[in-house]
């Protein structure tokens, strides 16, 4: 590499006495996170290590890097001027629902759709173990886990990893619209940005034929987040019995359409051969 190259201008390698990697970024300084990012961005889909296991690994890595006292202070600061967020956190509603609570709902209702999907795919509901939150941050994440599957349905994303892009991008386009503190928004969005970017990178690197569907999911997730109310604050338990169109109207969800991404999602996860066209021939 030519050190006088146009694109290399301005580089100033700082000297250090350290024998290990030192950076101004706490994320780059984390060996665990560096390894997670490298693997999650570059690997192919495989049944030996499914996507949920990647996120299970990521959560404690990020927790090691968070300043929870600072996050609590940011929530308190935001709540002083953000009546909507203050009311939501102040109410502190945490559900203890179980899958069987939806068993008798109409199959076309939001709860009925989730019940059918969980039964068909042998999915569990407890993304985040249901305990009483001891902090505002714990409450936020508890509700995020409890509403996530409903966000799939209401945003139109299937229960596959391309379908994940819709709730990811809905939140990434929505959080800053209803929370003013930029530092707090950044803390909230860290998980989503890491979880989302692996899908983009791996699709381009290994499965380029599914890239148009990736773009479609991103576009719709962004549109929903930009136009809708704060879906992530919604009490989903109140709309289980409603049809998807009625639930979207009740929760001020705008721009949502159902996107079919099942085959592309199975390719991404390594459950279908790639490319599909050649496999069919």
pLDDT at residue 11, as a whole number: 73
DSSP SS3 for 92: coil
Q: State pLDDT tens for residues 109-136.
A: 999 999 999 988 777 666 556 778 999 9
* Percent of the chain whose pLDDT exceeds 70: 93
The pTM for the full model equals 0.90
The size of the chain, in residues, is: 281
Structure tokens at 240: 């289980």
pLDDT of residue 256: 97
pLDDT in tens, 210-238: 999 999 999 999 999 999 999 999 999 99
Q: 264 vs 162, 204, 213, 216, CA distance in Å?
A: 7, 13, 7, 12
State how far the Cα of 173 lies from the Cα of 9, in Å rounded to an integer: 34
- Please tell me the predicted confidence (pLDDT) of residue 126: 61
268, 210 contact by CB (below 8 A): yes
> What count of other Cβ atoms lies within 10 Å of the Cβ of residue 63?
9
Kindly report, residue by residue over 39-93, the tens digit of the pLDDT.
999 999 998 998 889 999 999 999 999 999 999 999 999 999 999 999 999 999 9
């Amino acid at each position: 590499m030519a050190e006088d190259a146009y694109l290399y201008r301005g580089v100033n390698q700082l000297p250090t006495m350290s024998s290990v990697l030192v950076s101004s970024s706490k994320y780059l300084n984390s060996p665990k996170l560096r390894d997670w990012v490298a693997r999650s961005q570059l690997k192919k889909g495989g049944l030996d290590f499914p996507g949920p296991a990647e996120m299970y690994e990521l959560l404690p890595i990020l927790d090691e890097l968070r300043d929870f006292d600072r996050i609590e202070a940011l929530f308190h600061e935001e709540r002083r001027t953000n009546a909507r967020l203050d009311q939501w956190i102040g109410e502190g509603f945490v559900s203890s629902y179980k899958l069987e609570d939806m068993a008798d709902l109409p199959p076309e209702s939001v709860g009925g759709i989730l019940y059918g999907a969980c039964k068909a795919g042998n999915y569990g509901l407890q993304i985040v173990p249901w305990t009483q939150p001891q902090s505002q941050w714990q409450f936020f994440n508890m509700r995020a886990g409890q509403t996530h599957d409903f966000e799939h349905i209401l945003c139109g994303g299937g229960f596959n990893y391309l379908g994940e892009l819709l709730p990811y991008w809905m939140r990434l386009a929505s959080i800053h619209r209803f929370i003013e503190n930029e530092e707090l928004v950044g803390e909230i969005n860290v998980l989503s940005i890491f979880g989302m970017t692996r899908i983009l990178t791996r699709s381009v690197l290994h499965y380029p034929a599914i890239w148009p569907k990736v773009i479609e999911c991103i576009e719709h997730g962004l549109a929903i987040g930009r136009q809708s109310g704060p879906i992530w604050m919604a009490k989903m338990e109140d709309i289980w019995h409603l049809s998807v169109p009625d639930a979207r109207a009740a929760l001020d969800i705008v721009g949502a359409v159902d996107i079919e991404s099942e085959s592309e999602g199975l390719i991404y996860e390594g459950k279908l051969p790639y490319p599909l066209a050649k496999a069919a021939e």
